[in-house]
A and B are shown apart, each in its own frame.
Chain A
């Protein structure tokens, strides 16, 4: 069945560092791909999405490109801030939304 694998955390970075959180997927057909973020004490929020190959989703300085050839959707940000500290979930949707296990990011000042 469909599955999502993302890098295990926790990830700890200093402010202004470059961030990459790897995500790869297995799916039949052509799923949509998502990154969700869960800030401390809050519910899950959609961060960005891409619906077809080579689409780039972007929001709040984060980017991810739908790579069909490598079945990947890696999340990147050029300069992280303390306020980016959260848990990040990669997900795919064909019939159902399938999530990765989440990666906790801590950004220190």
Chain B
């Protein structure tokens, strides 16, 4: 079956521009996560959506970052007025409603963002 997909796979933008990154989770998965993977910094949690609950935005690094999840499925991560330090790989993951807190997260291939 289809896994988590993300688009675009690569994005190069100029400093100050806005970018939108898209994530299509696995069908039926109610939980969706965004992470940022910077060189030498590991994975940094950004935001978490679970069903119809209010999202956990505690990992967003600044108010330039926002995310939406429409219809409980597709999610868009928006970065406004991009800065060079925003350059990273942005990973999306989803997990199923079953399995409780031990449930596995399935990751997409990521979007590599480069801010010039």
Which single residue of chain B is at the shortest CB-CB distance from A41?
B109
A96 & B48 in contact (Cβ 8 Å cutoff): yes
Which single residue of chain A is at the shortest CB-CB distance from B103?
A93
A98 & B45 in contact (Cβ 8 Å cutoff): yes
Residues of A within 8 A of B56 (CB): 96
Q: Mark B26-51, 1 if CB is under 8 A from A, else 0.
A: 00000001010000111101001000
Residues of B within 8 A of A32 (CB): 101-102
Which single residue of chain A is at the shortest CB-CB distance from B101?
A93
A49 & B102 in contact (Cβ 8 Å cutoff): yes
Q: Mark A70-95, 1 if CB is under 8 A from B, else 0.
A: 00000000000000000001000111
B residues adjacent to A (C-beta < 8 A): 3-4, 33, 35, 40-43, 45, 48, 56, 91, 93, 101-102, 104-105, 107-110
A residues adjacent to B (C-beta < 8 A): 32, 36, 42-46, 49, 51, 89, 93-102
